[in-house]
Structure 1
């Protein structure tokens, strides 16, 4: 591991952070008093409540943890949950998938082999929203929304994340709610300028009497979005609330929680672009004529609904409405302090949840690759516009979009979760020994049916038309641009399944705290019971679609009935040295596991009797691959960190820095042609990964000036199956960073600027794309007490920042045509907020 560039990056960030910062807030949402964070318990003095023992401050915890206040997140001006996550050190995400979600969320150089966030768990008030972060068409960023109900977001990386939470060996991101113990709230309205989008956030809470208090908050959002679709793509609301009753003079409390959400948000699938390529270097990236991904997309009024062949055997018209979710949850939290240092905590939640994924995926292809090809048994002789002002006219453009129209019905992704902990504190050898025993249980449902249509449309960012194909006799080969129902990726992906995963996990920990040092260790025993069924696609058959014969596939092929149990163990050991009251150094080593759930189905890994295939079963009992070994991915991590706080240039700072080293092996099933050899859907991807690096987080405040910054540096490498050496991991920049600075001009106004960026990254073919930074200034004016008027600009310089790399579409052209996912262009909004 070369430390020179590592320390160089860290020194640069440290120098910047020394210029100013804003202490982060924190809240003990699961602790006895459950108070809103008070000024004396902010920054490194805040109690860590996520994936930890819940009784130590950040400064004195031997874990990498950061607490990001809601005010800091609002200052960053995130356009999606993924951009919220970029505020947490160690989290590596492009932030270009859109407000609906479906982001690939990596952590500490542990990449995403296929999709989702396999090593990162997202929680709300200490319990997962979904058990697995990379559920196919159900990634965990669909189900959580930052709004007025959130007081702060806490991120724990590595270490205890794997033993105090299931399926989270990389990180836990916990959205912690206001409780209303301190009275207050606000109402705000944010309106897009130059585009149609309106969002209202609100919250209010306060005491009911001396022992009861409540809080309620949420948001409403509607509009066509900053990419200027010509129909409503955002139509969402969420309401979250809680009611707390304290008893026995504050020694205990009981809290009721609820959430109701109904969201519809677009998922951005990229855009074409032009570039110069020299060797493996991609440079001079700029928008593709007619399709500027900064302010346009392939959401079209001519494709706002489309036909699928549904699971009942009928053609059904469905909406192209992005990612939709419906959720209703309720739960309870109980805490009590008994005599003798014994405490009991229980956290429970039941969630009814469903939704859908509908998106026009994008892929740039040469029109010549379609003309002369065989489609539905005939040779394509002509392409014509299927809709729009040019309907019926010949299509003669050089490029078209030949990717899928996909609709996945998420019939049930509900869950029940409960986490019970018993802890005791004892005086031992001039220190405190804390012992904990806990039991976590969660039952996760996953019921879906997939519909992936072969589709053609023009390559245009302004209401692209679907394209129909014709043979030389003028016979129509497609219907509304669709050349096949459920068959875009072959028989792999016309799926129908109803699965259940019951995760039972007892865990134990010991923690010794001395005036000069601390030692801790914990272990978690995971047991997952898998039941249910999964049905793959069968053979193609013809159907009549408004007079045109179109091939279709439905879920009548291979059936797997799951009935197996998999057990494994995660552990961590850490130590902390208290150098001074304001400086601590810690070290940690850990090995955490995560279970591969629905991604292991229909891959030849389940025996006919429902148990996992072993290597000796291959070739019999319905087995074509080992299912036991790849059913759990293990991550080994080593950490060395320092935390510090103090005075600097007349202000106060906090600083956290952690050196990292980790490795893991992953075997996962890829459904699409995105990364499968030969361009066909359905393959197993096996690889080993390793990473070294560092993460950094700092805050500073001096008078009216404040600053928050973070950076993650990693050298991530991959060794593919059969290879003898490691190469650079794709889609992970060496450095990703976020910063936010604000200056209060008395009680008159606040001027701020946020920055988010990254260095270069490579795609699967090894082409290197440059990294850039975007800047988001803001102005808040206070014309009277409690009233705030705001103006916010995202990407003020309109930078074409291609963060998600989609590969080379046409290397023969000059300039070269590429694909990718750019950040939003210059987007301006105005807001009004009233605090009370």
Structure 2
């Protein structure tokens, strides 16, 4: 699809939207819009969505259920302007925002629960925010704010802030139980219960337990976990107090790029299996041998807790304090491919064959083999966050003042490398009788570290809003942030610190916006902002000694937005044009290798359109057109930004109806994605693809619901990434293969 065709597609959708809008407005001029959002407001104070001078996407629990996301990150595909690679399993996604540059993970994503960031550092090596949060039936909805006032409020994230709301109890006791199974052997039970404990004291409890061999079948239960959440709310005459905790122990196999030039390797392939999950890893100067179960994969064993206090102080003043504590282990363990898959005869000691380390089978020289590294990353993290804001509304003015504090820590132990040749088949075993040297297999390459890092952030911010007329509102926000880091790393595990950092820098971010209402249902907004991504522990380790001062590690982002919005009883539309400049990003392909510093520019348009007809027909259109370019670079100037498509379109029609007194719904999602480049050098092309998902619900009797969802029904083998460790190896990671889920739930 060329650029003209893309514009035509979006133009048709917008034309339909405006046509529907005209009908809607004629039918309901006095419609009252009550959708309330908390993202982008000081302390999560809240604002009507139609009054917001920024773009926010809302998903309620019904939409989340129908999307049937395979992971938390998978849900973010429903937010325009966001590109998600969720093919690595339930943890370890790559999330990109509005053309901001990046080579992986999610450096411009903040994930919040009840308005509290779960971990202030958006990304550390082998950790991004969505890895430490699991979806279940205790979630009532999600908001996704990109750009806008983000650089000023919360933790100052310039990219995407997602906020998950937990269900809360009310006077009536209610609950649900759901069982889910699948064609890949999933067994999962979800339950939730809520109600009143005493007068004005409410509760919600819930969680899940699950087991599965994984969508890419490992031959054993590679995905297993459980989660428990409790949420308590106390209401006062002048406010409320809320406290929650979410305890999780959930992990799954780590899916990595696979060889694209080997017959039999497709979207269902995974390296891990019963014949290779137990392995010996050698680490440190003494080559200490440690046994590991590589089947543990990636996961989260810890808790996310927090709460809020909201008080009306009198004389128009309001206080909101939100706090959170996250603590636990986010480990990454698995088999990482290195280089190209080759015939065994080219690497065998005798040039003819080699023996399986587990089975003793002698494999012939034409057997296809690949070098897999046995990588171990143990990561213990902890963070405490507090966001305090006071606000007051005057006749034509609204003022808010806030203080944000955060302490963040991470303790790491890594053993990367430990390479050995394995048979390229599902769960293929390691081979004996293969030389271990750098030229052939990379077996001599190891990177072992032990590190500890602590960061402190103290920020003061203010947002001021002036209601210039009944239709025009102007706002400004400023944030002054001091960021401190202490970090020590022992590379080689010899007991001494090879790198040590004491760091302190201050930056000021700002936002300026205007909102104009055409009428009660529609308007437009303009916004400019400037924000920063402050460095954390890995930035200092990877770039140690390469820069003259702390300023060099701070990434600067400038953004501009112009948006049109309409919200009615059956139609809502957000169309947002964005442009940004990103200064000071860095990229390092291999540990210890050269560091590239570059600047990028990107512009595009986001469409978020929803239509609901009284006949039961509904339509959602989520589309992004963007163009991102590296504008300054020693070697890649003029190239496109890696990994992000120039267009992505998701169209989801649905139809709700009754049959023989039973309520039913059928729906589907068609996704279309453009080609991308797998690296900044633009030498690896990842072909675009189309993907179709289908689903249906049926309520045969009162309070019982059946749900069937089919993901990737045509078993499309689209690629999300190449090999991030090599420019030339023909490896890549496919999107998840076709899968079918079925659930039955009972509500009471």
Regarding TM over 0.5, the answer is yes
Shift in Å, 1:576 = 0.5
Q: Which residue of 1 aligns with 2:669?
A: 754
Q: Which residue of 1 aligns with 2:734?
A: 822
Shift in Å, 1:223 = 1.3
Unaligned runs of 5+ in 2: 22-30
Whole-angstrom distance in 2 between the partners of 1:185 and 1:18: 40
Q: What is the correspondence of 1:538-577 to structure 2 with a 5 Å cutoff? A: 554-556=493-495, 559-577=498-516
Q: Which residue of 2 aligns with 1:416?
A: 384
Residue 595 of structure 2 is aligned with which of 684, 690, 693? 684
Is this contact kept in 1: 2:620–2:653, CA < 8 A?
yes
Q: Which residue of 1 aligns with 2:471?
A: 516
Cα 1:125–1:700, aligned 2, differ >3 Å: closer, same or farther?
Answer: same
Cα 1:467–1:743, aligned 2, differ >3 Å: closer, same or farther?
Answer: same
Residue 161 of structure 1 is aligned with which of 150, 170, 187? 150
Is this contact kept in 1: 2:465–2:475, CA < 8 A?
yes
Tell me, what secondary structure is at the counterpart of 1:695? strand
TM value normalised by structure 2: 0.91
Residue 665 of structure 1 is aligned with which of 583, 590, 594? 583
Whole-angstrom distance in 1 between the partners of 2:256 and 2:20: 37
Whole-angstrom distance in 2 between the partners of 1:689 and 1:565: 26
Are positions 1:780 and 2:690 aligned together? no
Shift in Å, 1:360 = 1.0
Whole-angstrom distance in 2 between the partners of 1:216 and 1:750: 29
Whole-angstrom distance in 1 between the partners of 2:506 and 2:522: 40
Whole-angstrom distance in 2 between the partners of 1:128 and 1:383: 54
Residue 646 of structure 2 is aligned with which of 722, 734, 737? 734
Q: Which residue of 2 aligns with 1:315?
A: 289
Whole-angstrom distance in 1 between the partners of 2:264 and 2:355: 17
Tell me, what secondary structure is at the counterpart of 2:265? coil
Shift in Å, 1:425 = 0.9
Q: Which residue of 2 aligns with 1:75?
A: 66
Q: What is the correspondence of 1:413-492 to structure 2 with a 5 Å cutoff? A: 413-427=381-395, 431=396, 433-458=397-422, 460-470=424-434, 484=443, 488=445, 490=446
Greater displacement, 762-771 / 214-223: 762-771
Whole-angstrom distance in 1 between the partners of 2:347 and 2:747: 65
Shift in Å, 1:208 = 2.8
Cα 1:149–1:17, aligned 2, differ >3 Å: closer, same or farther?
Answer: farther
Whole-angstrom distance in 1 between the partners of 2:687 and 2:3: 23
Are positions 1:201 and 2:193 aligned together? no
Are positions 1:300 and 2:269 aligned together? no
Is this contact kept in 2: 1:236–1:263, CA < 8 A?
yes
Is this contact kept in 1: 2:83–2:95, CA < 8 A?
yes
Residue 634 of structure 2 is aligned with which of 722, 729, 739? 722
Tell me, what secondary structure is at the counterpart of 1:362? strand
Are positions 1:580 and 2:519 aligned together? yes
Q: Structure 1, residues 562-586: CA drift from partner, whole Å, max 9, x if none?
A: 2221111111000001111111100
Q: Which residue of 1 aligns with 2:336?
A: 361
Q: What is the correspondence of 1:209-248 to structure 2 with a 5 Å cutoff? A: 209-248=198-237
Shift in Å, 1:252 = 0.6
Q: Which residue of 1 aligns with 2:707?
A: 790
Residue 560 of structure 2 is aligned with which of 627, 633, 638? 638
Q: Structure 1, residues 722-759: CA drift from partner, whole Å, max 9, x if none?
A: 25842211211011233333222223322121233311
Is this contact kept in 2: 1:523–1:569, CA < 8 A?
yes
Q: Which residue of 2 aligns with 1:506?
A: 460
Are positions 1:337 and 2:296 aligned together? no
Cα 1:372–1:333, aligned 2, differ >3 Å: closer, same or farther?
Answer: closer
Is this contact kept in 1: 2:108–2:122, CA < 8 A?
yes
Shift in Å, 1:414 = 0.9
Cα 1:71–1:90, aligned 2, differ >3 Å: closer, same or farther?
Answer: same
Q: Which residue of 1 aligns with 2:541?
A: 602
Are positions 1:700 and 2:611 aligned together? yes
Is this contact kept in 1: 2:185–2:213, CA < 8 A?
yes
Is this contact kept in 1: 2:334–2:374, CA < 8 A?
yes
TM value normalised by structure 1: 0.81
Shift in Å, 1:823 = 1.5
Is this contact kept in 1: 2:371–2:441, CA < 8 A?
no
Whole-angstrom distance in 1 between the partners of 2:84 and 2:581: 19
Q: Which residue of 2 aligns with 1:94?
A: 85
Whole-angstrom distance in 2 between the partners of 1:792 and 1:16: 28
Greater displacement, 752-761 / 554-563: 554-563
Tell me, what secondary structure is at the counterpart of 2:622? strand
Greater displacement, 181-190 / 170-179: 181-190
Residue 490 of structure 2 is aligned with which of 506, 520, 535? 535
Cα 1:738–1:457, aligned 2, differ >3 Å: closer, same or farther?
Answer: farther
Unaligned runs of 5+ in 1: 22-41, 275-287, 374-378, 472-476, 538-553, 606-622, 812-816
Cα 1:198–1:364, aligned 2, differ >3 Å: closer, same or farther?
Answer: farther
Tell me, what secondary structure is at the counterpart of 2:263? coil
Is this contact kept in 2: 1:705–1:742, CA < 8 A?
yes
Cα 1:664–1:220, aligned 2, differ >3 Å: closer, same or farther?
Answer: same
Shift in Å, 1:767 = 3.6
Cα 1:643–1:380, aligned 2, differ >3 Å: closer, same or farther?
Answer: farther
Shift in Å, 1:342 = 0.3
Tell me, what secondary structure is at the counterpart of 1:141? helix
Is this contact kept in 2: 1:86–1:737, CA < 8 A?
no
Whole-angstrom distance in 2 between the partners of 1:832 and 1:359: 34
Shift in Å, 1:44 = 6.0
Is this contact kept in 2: 1:302–1:463, CA < 8 A?
yes
Shift in Å, 1:206 = 2.1
Whole-angstrom distance in 1 between the partners of 2:463 and 2:6: 33
Tell me, what secondary structure is at the counterpart of 1:338? strand
Greater displacement, 52-61 / 800-809: 800-809
Whole-angstrom distance in 2 between the partners of 1:380 and 1:139: 44
Q: Which residue of 2 aligns with 1:400?
A: 369
Is this contact kept in 2: 1:136–1:598, CA < 8 A?
no
Cα 1:257–1:773, aligned 2, differ >3 Å: closer, same or farther?
Answer: same
Q: Which residue of 2 aligns with 1:8?
A: 8
Is this contact kept in 2: 1:457–1:464, CA < 8 A?
no
Q: Structure 1, residues 461-500: CA drift from partner, whole Å, max 9, x if none?
A: 42211123446xxxxx59xx9975xx63x5xx31110100
Is this contact kept in 2: 1:20–1:741, CA < 8 A?
no
